[in-house]
Amino acid sequence: MVYQKLSLILTLTVFENLLLGSIGTPFLIRDHKRRKDASLLLEAQGLQVDLDTLVSELTLAQRQLLEIGKLLWRNARILILDEPTSQLAPHEIDEVLRTTRKLANAGRTVLLITHKIDEVLRFADSVTVLRGGEAIATAHARDLTRAELGRLIVGPLQAVPSVDTARALASVPVASLRSVSLTNGSDRTGVFDLDVYGGEVLGIAGVSGNGPEDLAQLLVGSRKSATGEIQFHFGVDVPVAHIPADSRRMGAVDTLPLSRNVFLREFDSPRLCIGPFVRLDVMRNEAASRLKAYGVRPSNPDLLAAALSGGNLQKLIIAREMSCGASLLVAENPTAGLDPASAGDILQRLKLFAREGPAVVLVSADLSELLAISDRVAVFSGKRLIGVERSENLTADSLGMMMGGIRLDIVQQLTNIGTNDGQGLEAIRRLLTSANWWERRVAAQAALLCPDFQEDALIDSLYITEQHEEVRVWLALLQARMRPAGAEILLSEHAERSPEVYLEVVRRLLGTTDNIKFGRELAYRSENPTSLWEAVLYRTGAALWDNLSVASGGRPS
Amino acid sequence: MNYIGLSKRSVPFVASVAALLLLGLGLKLLGRSPWSVYSGLFAGSLGSRFAIAETLVATIPIIFCALATAVPRWAGLISVGAEGALYAGAVGATYAALQFSHWPSVALVPSMLLLAACAGAVWAAVPALLRVFLGINETIVTLLGNYVAVLLVEYLVHGVWQDPASYSWPQSAAFVASAELPRWPGTRVHLGLAVAILAALLLWVLRSRTVLGLRLEITGSNPTAANYAGYPVRKYQLLVMVVGGILAAMAGWGQVAAIEGRLRSALSPGYGYSGFLVAWMARHHPLGILGFSLLLAAMLTGSDNLQLRQQLPAAMVNIFQGILLFCLLGAEYIADRQTTKMQVAHRGHEEEVPQ
């Protein structure tokens, strides 16, 4: 069993966590065989870390894999995973679920508890839907569509009313960020301005660690910007409402009754107080009616907050934050780990709240959620503001590319390449000469995907002047494609000069981060090339990979 | 601090009964009659007017020290510094008594109280500031401070404040009559009892009925949530530590002003630690502290009687205190488990009912 909240000990090493509590672990651990076994076992799960790494230094995905490794160490035949992906970023989810898929293929039984429809359809063999404590249906995953499965989970009630369309922003912002920065240093290039308007839901997109959390902290005041200032256009004693990411730990007090949790911010509001004294009976009654209004169950104000499930606790926090008279509400991943019905309810409430006048800043890792309820989306990458766009101009794909650091206008031009109106080709030409190597690389990649791009002369001249090693390899690939005859010399030259960069480029072309898969893919592609230059590219890559693998004991970085 | 069911409320009583039974069993095994020991204990503590008065006298510093432990705990701090602050308060009161000895009683008694409070506040401010600004564990600092306080008093009574009338005794000069506290006629019960009860009542109202009290409750239960809600957590932590110091200083004030009549280095037979035990037994509830202080004071007084009459070692009361603490912890554990079970049951039944 792997619990939703991981049961690893952060201050111990990977090896110690693996051995801890398993039968057969001796009092003193000294033998090398056990270490060897452990590292083999973890590597087979795709977890390539040193055994003596502290668990606190692992990413969440790696911890999840270690949890699975613990079960395998105990030789479990049946693995139960409770929402193993709820805390993970999208690319980590695949990593973990591929591992579990492999285990199932190898003959073990995996019980995957999840509320994410895509995960079920992609990785499961058979599905059982539970609703209200009853098994509603069991079916083969391949016989189900997303819509069918969604209907089974939600039930006959289609309680997701549509949200009204975007409306004009208020003319005066609620909060203005002026030349603030999310980094601590003196990096002037990361400085940006951002206005948050009343009545809007401003979505904040970005891969975790790239700035969204920092922006939320700036707004709620738990962090100061190294530069610039934030102007709030409301009274100093008006709080900034905040739905924290870790609501159980930060937003509520488990050991106190619901009534106290509901009025956490407002003990001193005039409705409750006579002088310094709080009218407890009034507080209790108001808490009860508020809990009912927001659909918190159970709604008895005398129960302890520990008695609430995650979804109901989140509703309580939303009830509190929406009632404290704030003009600005910052919500951090408010639907993380919730079932679709609760999540929909919460998003609906956020939208309606903004329509009444206050501004809502929604930080979310779920792009479809951001696009569904935001009026505008601000995208962060590398702690920089990439752009603020109206959400109707965005798709999940373009948002994803912006999160990778590319501005929307560039994204749009690049995605227009196929339409043959010349704009895309023009964009590539312009970007190839950009001062930013990042943009030159993107342009070269786009050119590689676009068969209409045939500008030998331009590429040749750029190739001579290009300084950046990685961009040079991409340009070399373009040249090789246009003149397959000279491909061998051109590409092997790069493979010799900077093997790491070369491999990295090949890896990007194949679109994989998984080492084992990469090696296999390389071998396959070099056997089955579709053109001469591909054959050279992949064969050189495969040879490099083998050399590096041997040199570094089977684990190239 | 209990909102569901009665089981947690009854923990201290169940624990007390269990401890009495266990000790009785031990006495029986030693060949003593538990009945006669207990009746001796009762006679020595509550059996006569004199015994009751002596029990009340011991109750006063225990109440103060228990309150001094409970108040920091409200904001999540664990202070064991009541003993030290008691001595600090005694020093403050002594300073006033020796310095302003020519003042009339109406001025001298309040000034002793005031100086004792100041001394306690300053004493407690040291661990409080270390905790708030440097993150140094307040429990350890307050514990170590206790030894420093006793040494400080010894330094004073062996040195500058030594009574010139008694050459070798480590004690200060006796206070003038106007420094003495009013008493219940014919007993040693003094004004401190009224102050202690008043303090407990005020703290109870503060704790359960005021904005500050509710916010302290949040701060103590989950400091992260308190920070999130924008409470001035550091200010609260400083405040509760200083108030705790003042309360414990009141115990010292009572001891020198009413009981000893002078400063001595053996002012307290561990009232600070008894207060700690009482505070945890009463779950840091001010009214509970009044009751449990009386109980513990009765045991301390009664055990004097046992030593005299039944040749039982004084350590017996320490043993009883230990057994009581274990029973308390055990009963609390069981009650916690029950509460958890009830809550899990709640979650199971009421949570995911479809609309």
Q: Are B130 and B141 in contact (CB under 8 A)?
A: yes
B212 touches chain A (CB under 8 A): yes
Residue A94 has pLDDT above 80, yes or no: no
The answer to whether position A243 is within a domain reads: yes
Phi/psi at A143 (5° precision): -85, -5
For A338-381, what is each residue's pLDDT tens digit?
777 788 888 888 888 888 888 899 998 777 788 888 888 898 87
The answer to whether position A324 is within a domain reads: yes
pLDDT value of residue B261:
82
The answer to whether position A166 is within a domain reads: no
Residues A393 and A419 in one domain: no
Residues A363 and A324 in one domain: yes
> Which candidate from A131, A306, A309 shows the least CB-CB separation from B351?
A309
Q: How many CB pairs below 8 A link A and B?
A: 90
The answer to whether position A352 is within a domain reads: yes
pLDDT value of residue B302:
83
Q: Which whole number is the average pLDDT over B291-308?
A: 84
Min Cα distance A300 → chain B (Å) is 11
Which of the pair, B315 or A404, is modelled with greater confidence? B315
The answer to whether position A134 is within a domain reads: no
Which of the pair, A537 or A160, is modelled with greater confidence? A537
Q: Are A376 and A202 in contact (CB under 8 A)?
A: yes
Residue B112 has pLDDT above 80, yes or no: yes
Q: Are A476 and A463 in contact (CB under 8 A)?
A: yes
Contact A307 B215 (CB under 8 A): no
B36 touches chain A (CB under 8 A): no
Q: How confident is the model at residue A553 (pLDDT cuts 50, 70, 90)?
A: very low
Which of the pair, B15 or B69, is modelled with greater confidence? B69
Where residue A185 sits, what CATH number does that domain have?
3.40.50.300
Residues A197 and A180 in one domain: yes
Residues A372 and A462 in one domain: no
- Which residues from chain A sit within 8 angstroms of residue B209, using beta carbons? 277-278, 280
Contact B228 A254 (CB under 8 A): no
| Cα–Cα dist A422/A428, whole Å | 10
Residues A412 and A396 in one domain: no
**DSSP string across A469-483:** HHHHHHHHHHHHHH-
- Which residues from chain A sit within 8 angstroms of residue B347, using beta carbons? 307-309
Residues A190 and A272 in one domain: yes
| Cα–Cα dist A392/A376, whole Å | 8
For A61-73, what is each residue's pLDDT tens digit?
788 888 888 888 8
> Which candidate from A251, A265, A298 shows the least CB-CB separation from B346?
A298
B6 touches chain A (CB under 8 A): no
For B183-220, what is each residue's pLDDT tens digit?
888 888 888 899 999 999 999 999 888 889 889 998 98
Residues A380 and A426 in one domain: no
Q: How confident is the model at residue A420 (pLDDT cuts 50, 70, 90)?
A: low
B337 touches chain A (CB under 8 A): no
| Cα–Cα dist A297/A354, whole Å | 25
Contact A242 B210 (CB under 8 A): no
For A223-280, what is each residue's pLDDT tens digit?
888 788 888 888 777 888 888 888 778 888 888 888 888 888 888 887 888 878 888 8
- Which residues from chain A sit within 8 angstroms of residue B210, using beta carbons? 276-278
Last residue of a domain, one of A63, A93, A124: A124
How many domains does chain A divide into? Answer: 3
> Which candidate from B209, B211, B347 shows the least CB-CB separation from A268?
B211
Q: Which residue of A has its CA nearest to B4?
A: A303
> For chain A, what's the residue count?
557
Nearest CA-CA partner of A480 in A498, A505, A514: A505
Nearest CA-CA partner of A258 in A328, A327, A307, A205: A307
Residues A362 and A454 in one domain: no
Min Cα distance B217 → chain A (Å) is 9
CA distances from A505 to A92, A287, A492, A509, A543 (A): 21, 59, 14, 6, 15
Contact B3 A303 (CB under 8 A): yes
- pLDDT cut 70: percent of chain B above it: 92
Residue A144 has pLDDT above 70, yes or no: yes
* A251: DSSP letter: I
pLDDT value of residue B350:
43
Residues A235 and A369 in one domain: yes
Tokens of B101: 């000895």
B136 touches chain A (CB under 8 A): no
Q: Which residue of B has its CA nearest to A242?
A: B228
Q: How confident is the model at residue B179 (pLDDT cuts 50, 70, 90)?
A: confident
Contacts 24+ apart (CB under 8 A), A60-63: A60/A87, A60/A88, A60/A92, A61/A88, A61/A89, A61/A92, A61/A93, A61/A95, A61/A96, A63/A6, A63/A8
Other residues' Cβ atoms within 10 Å of the Cβ of residue A456:
11
pLDDT value of residue A165:
45
The answer to whether position A139 is within a domain reads: no
* B86: DSSP letter: H
Q: How confident is the model at residue A412 (pLDDT cuts 50, 70, 90)?
A: low
Tokens of A114: 């999840």
Place of tokens 């006579």: A274
- Which residues from chain A sit within 8 angstroms of residue B227, using beta carbons? 222
> Which candidate from A278, A302, A308 shows the least CB-CB separation from B3?
A302
- Which residues from chain B sit within 8 angstroms of residue A302, using beta carbons? 3-4
Min Cα distance B336 → chain A (Å) is 11
Pick among A158, A255, A332 to test the B interface (most B CBs inside 10 A): A255
Pick among A302, A304, A339 to test the B interface (most B CBs inside 10 A): A304
The answer to whether position A253 is within a domain reads: yes
- Which residues from chain A sit within 8 angstroms of residue B346, using beta carbons? 298, 303, 307
Average pLDDT of every residue of chain B: 84
Which of the pair, B340 or B141, is modelled with greater confidence? B141
Residues A502 and A478 in one domain: yes
pLDDT value of residue A166:
47
Contact B225 A253 (CB under 8 A): yes
CA distances from B231 to A224, A266, B15, B73, B228 (A): 18, 11, 36, 17, 8
| Cα–Cα dist B74/A301, whole Å | 22
pLDDT value of residue A404:
64
Q: Which residue of B has its CA nearest to A275?
A: B210
Q: Residue A299 burial by CB count (10 A; 0-12/13-18/19+): exposed, middle or buried?
A: buried
- Which residues from chain B sit within 8 angstroms of residue A267, using beta carbons? 211, 214-215
| Cα–Cα dist A287/A262, whole Å | 6
DSSP element (H, E) containing A3: none
The contact set of A with B (CB < 8 A) is 131-133, 155, 157, 159, 222, 239, 242, 244, 249-257, 260, 264-265, 267-268, 273, 276-278, 280, 295, 297-298, 302-304, 306-309, 312
> Which candidate from B218, B224, B340 shows the least CB-CB separation from A256?
B218
Contact B221 A253 (CB under 8 A): yes
For B222-246, what is each residue's pLDDT tens digit?
888 888 888 888 999 999 999 999 9
Q: Which domain holds residue A103?
A: 14-124
Contacts of A236 (CB under 8 A, 6+ apart): none
Q: HSE-up of B345 (CA within 13 Å, CB side)?
A: 7
| Cα–Cα dist B74/B83, whole Å | 19
Last residue of a domain, one of A359, A381, A403: A403
Q: How confident is the model at residue A554 (pLDDT cuts 50, 70, 90)?
A: very low
Q: Are B275 and B53 in contact (CB under 8 A)?
A: no
Tokens of B23: 């000790």
Residues A272 and A413 in one domain: no
B215 touches chain A (CB under 8 A): yes
Residue A185 has pLDDT above 50, yes or no: yes
Q: Are B210 and B136 in contact (CB under 8 A)?
A: no
Tokens of A372: 């569904």
B147 touches chain A (CB under 8 A): no
Pick among B218, B339, B341, B344 to test the A interface (most A CBs inside 10 A): B218
Average pLDDT of every residue of chain A: 79
> Which candidate from B209, B228, B343 shows the least CB-CB separation from A307?
B343
| Cα–Cα dist A252/A264, whole Å | 8
Residue A550 has pLDDT above 60, yes or no: no
Nearest CA-CA partner of A355 in A200, A250, A498, A226: A200
Residue A90 has pLDDT above 50, yes or no: yes
Tokens of A442: 């993107």
Min Cα distance A290 → chain B (Å) is 17
pLDDT value of residue A397:
64
Min Cα distance A327 → chain B (Å) is 16
Last residue of a domain, one of A381, A403, A425: A403
Residue A159 has pLDDT above 50, yes or no: no
> For chain B, what's the residue count?
355
Q: Which residue of B has its CA nearest to A217?
A: B228
The answer to whether position A374 is within a domain reads: yes
Min Cα distance A200 → chain B (Å) is 24
DSSP element (H, E) containing B23: helix B11-29
Contact A302 B209 (CB under 8 A): no
Which of the pair, B9 or B95, is modelled with greater confidence? B95
pLDDT value of residue B142:
92
- pLDDT cut 90: percent of chain B above it: 29
| Cα–Cα dist A272/A279, whole Å | 5
B350 touches chain A (CB under 8 A): yes
Q: Give the least confident one: A114-123, A254-263, A318-327.
A: A114-123
ipTM of the complex: 0.73
Residues A185 and A46 in one domain: no
For A470-515, what is each residue's pLDDT tens digit?
888 888 888 888 888 788 888 888 888 888 888 888 877 776 666 7
Residue A312 has pLDDT above 60, yes or no: yes
pLDDT value of residue A406:
64
Q: Which whole number is the average pLDDT over A194-206?
A: 87
- Which residues from chain A sit within 8 angstroms of residue B236, using beta carbons? none
User: Residue by residue, what is the 3-state secondary structure of A28-90?
Assistant: CCCCHHHHHHHHHHHHHCCCCCCCCCEHHHCCHHHHHHHHHHHHHHCCCCEEEEECCCCCCCH
Which of the listed ranges A100-114, A368-382, A395-409, B135-149 does the model predict with the highest average pLDDT? Answer: B135-149
Q: How confident is the model at residue B86 (pLDDT cuts 50, 70, 90)?
A: very high
Min Cα distance A242 → chain B (Å) is 8
Q: How confident is the model at residue A405 (pLDDT cuts 50, 70, 90)?
A: low
